Each structure stands twice: as structure tokens, then as C-alpha cells.
Amino acid sequence: MFNGIDIALYCCRKAQPEAPPEDGAEWAGFTLHRLQAFTVMHNPTQASTSSKWFGFGIRGKIAAILFATLLVTLTVNTLLAMNAQEQDIRAETDRRGHETAHFIAQYLSYSVVRYDYHALELLLQDLTRRHDIVYARVDSARENVMAVAGRQPGASEQIHSYTEEIRLNNELLGKLTVSLSSERTAQIMAMRQRELMFGQMLAVVVVLIAGFVALSRFIIHPLTIITHTLRQNHRSSETRLERIPLHADDEIGELAHGFNSLSDRLDEARQKLESRIQNADAELREAYQRLEQQAQELRKMNRDLEQQNITDLVTGLYNRRYFEILMATEVEHSIRSDETISILLVDIDNFRDITERLGHDSADEVMRSVAAIIAERTRRSDVACRYGGSEFVLLCRRATIANAIAIADDLQRTLVDHPLIIRGQEENISVSIGVATNPGVLRLTNAAEFFRCADDALRSSRQTGRGGVVHFSMVDHNAHTAVQ
């Protein structure tokens, strides 16, 4: 009774051939090793360095290029062939699956028309015990399940399901569903892949050996001679290059001839160039020394000009320009940061009378003497400037009211205790000093207001009498506000 089923199952099966021995990689490695040994035998003089050249030299590079080109070409051909084989195998499997389902459906038609559920169950169980069929089910024409055998395939399994109508005398009796395993197809495809890969590897090795032998004879050996000569020229301490001992009628021979001609021309040019370099070197040394001397002179002139730009020519103190720079930077910063700072405005009393009585030269000497005393009596952190005419200004950093008044009093006492000697005669010189300090009695917003405070203090000192010291805190602030 099961002969027909056995025949159908036999039709959808195919004997699986034995897999080829999986030793292709070992065989390829052995072949490449023999290839390297053959190259060493072909060029015995380079036997000691063949391993290095095979890995890093032109031999290895050309072999790698050949191997890669062949491998890519054969891989593409193999993939195309494998794809075509896979499509053929899948088409053949699908055709046999439909034929099997059709044959089994015809065989089950008599059991279905008799509603022989037991016979159907036995037949389906026998089918699922076969290697390929994993699931079988018979449904009636009304879509009622008459018999089921096997296991329901999962979504991840490689299963192909086929459905065939069960008919008898062209009358629809039911429906047969058969699920076949794809394991056999996968095994066939894997076997074909191994065969193609093995053939590809064999072809690559054969072509690589033939190409490598030809390259070693006609390209590598002449290039080895050129490389050896170039290496000797590189290691040699002589200036003249050694010629390449190679005579050939191909491009490599032309390369060697061109190198030899270029070597001769370079030797002639080197001799001329050495002579020119020696002459130019001497000229450059002289020019460099002159430029260095000029640069030093320019740097000195720049320093002198910068110093003259901020120095008073008569007294040697800083001039009004430098004081205005300090007002715009340091004093403004101190006012914004509410840091302690003081200004002393110093004016020589009766300086016009001194000028008329002693003359301008003597007046300048008085100016220089007073400036020297101011510079001597100020602190290291203070800055003394000539503001203009007979006025001087002192910028005292971090000087409180008491500190600023003490500096002014000390300056007054020094001038009183040490009269100036002008043209061999003593001259009693007095000064009026106005002092302003920030923070003080008024809230200042800029350096100009701060300077006006010191100027008002100096004006008050002149009004109260010559040789006085007045701090802005002693001035009538209402009058100061009215003046502003």
C-alpha cells in the first residue's frame, strides 16, 4: 500500500555526495611555502633575504596584487555561479515538492471519500516519519481537519509548505498540506560552495606561481640589481655615485641608463654648486653681520624714541603724555575697583619771578633740582611726572589720605631744609601741594573728576598762602560742586 508513497518520497530525495576533505587551506599554505622556496632557488644570491623581500619588497607587493586580482575575479565568478546553482536547486526542490504533494493527494483520495480517518492518520504518521516531511494535514472540502501528523514548523525553521487539492473524478474532496524540510537543500548548497572555493583556490595558486616565476626572471632580478646599487650609493660616504651595471633593451635598461647619465650630470653640477655655495656663504655671513648690527641699532633707537616720547626733556621725569596714559588706564581701573590711590599736584611758588630774576637757564636748573628732590623723596611704587610749566604731579599707589599728606609734608620739609644752589647762590624754594585721594569724601566716576579734586586742592593751597599742603577733604565741597 505504501509503495506509491515510497516512490514519491524517493523522487524528491537525492543522494548526498560525500563532502571533499576540508584541507584546502593547509594545501594552499603548503603551496605558497613551496612558491617561496622556488623563488629562493631561482635567485640563490638573495636566499638570506628572501623572507624579507617576500613580505615587504616588490616581490611581495606584486604577488599581493596578483593574488588580490585573481581572488576578486574568481570570487565574483564563484558568487555568480553559486547564485545560479542556488536558484536551480531551489527551483528543482520546489518542483519536486509540488509533485510529491500531488502524488500523495491522489493516493489519499479514496481514504478521504470513505471518511476513513484512521487510515488517513496512519498514512500521515508514516509520511512524517520520513526524513523530509515534518508536517502533514488533511482538511475536508468544508475545511474541517480530518487528520494531522508531525509538528507544526516554527517561523525560523527552513521549511517549505505545499498545498494540493484532493480530487476524485474531478470532484473536490479536500486539501492536503505538506511541509518539507530544507535541510537537504542547504547541505547541497554547502557542498557546492566547498567545491567552488577549492577550485578557486587551486586556480589562484597555479596562476600565482606562473606569474611569480615570470616576474622574478624578467622584472625582479633587474630591479634587484638597481636596488643594490642605489643602496650602496646611499651608504657610501663618497660624493660620486656608483653607476648601475645593467645593460638591457627594455624599459628597465633605459631606467638604468638614465640613472647613469643623470649621475654624471649631477656630479658636474655638484662641483659647480659647491664653488658657488662657498662664495655665497661668505657673502651671506658678511650680510648677516651687517643686518644684525643694523637691527641692534634700530632696536636701540626704538627704545630711545619710546623713552623720549614719555620723558620730559628738562627734568628727566615722565611727561604729561605718560601721566594721561596712567590716568586713562590705572586710575580709571582704581576708581572702578574702589582701590586706594592718591594724586599730588605740586606747583613751584613764584616761578615766574624766579625766571625773570635768574633767567630761563637758571629757571630750568631750578626745575631740574626740584624734580630731583621729588624723585628722591617719592616711594618706589609712586610715579612722578612733570605736568607742565612749574607743575608736577605724583601718582601714589595704595596711598591713603594720611600717607599722601605725609609724602607732601616730607617734600615740603626737604625743600625748606635744603635750599637750592643756583649759580653759586642759595635760593629758598617753596611749593604748594594739592592732594586728592580715592575713595574719599565724594563718589567719583572717572579719572577726570579725580584730577579736578586735586586741582581744586592745589588752588585752595595757593589761596591760603604759599608753601602749603591742602587735601581735597579740607576744601569746601559745595563750592566744588558748584564749579562742576
Please tell me which residue, 325 or 35, carries the higher pLDDT value.
325
User: Is the same domain home to 435 and 296?
Assistant: no
Q: Answer yes or no: is 220 within a domain.
A: no
Q: What is the mean pLDDT of residues 452-465?
A: 90
User: Is the same domain home to 178 and 253?
Assistant: no
Domain that holds residue 167: 3-185
pLDDT tens for 175-203 read 888 888 777 677 777 887 788 778 777 87
Q: Answer yes or no: is 200 within a domain.
A: no
User: Is the same domain home to 147 and 8?
Assistant: yes
Q: The pTM is what?
A: 0.43
Q: What is the mean pLDDT of residues 204-213?
A: 78
User: Is the same domain home to 402 and 262?
Assistant: no
pLDDT more than 90, % of the chain: 22
- When pLDDT is cut at 50, 70 and 90, the band that residue 156 belongs to is low
User: Is the same domain home to 259 and 386?
Assistant: no
User: Is the same domain home to 113 and 161?
Assistant: yes
Residue 342 CB neighbours (<10 A): 27
> Which pLDDT score, from 0 to 100, does residue 277 have?
92
CA dist., res. 126 & res. 202, Å (int): 46
Number of domain units in the chain: 3
54-58, 145-149, 317-321, 349-353: the lowest-pLDDT one: 54-58
Highest-scoring range by mean pLDDT, 31-40, 185-194, 232-241, 266-275: 266-275
Domain final residue, candidates 162, 185, 208: 185
User: Is the same domain home to 296 and 324?
Assistant: no
User: Is the same domain home to 296 and 325?
Assistant: no
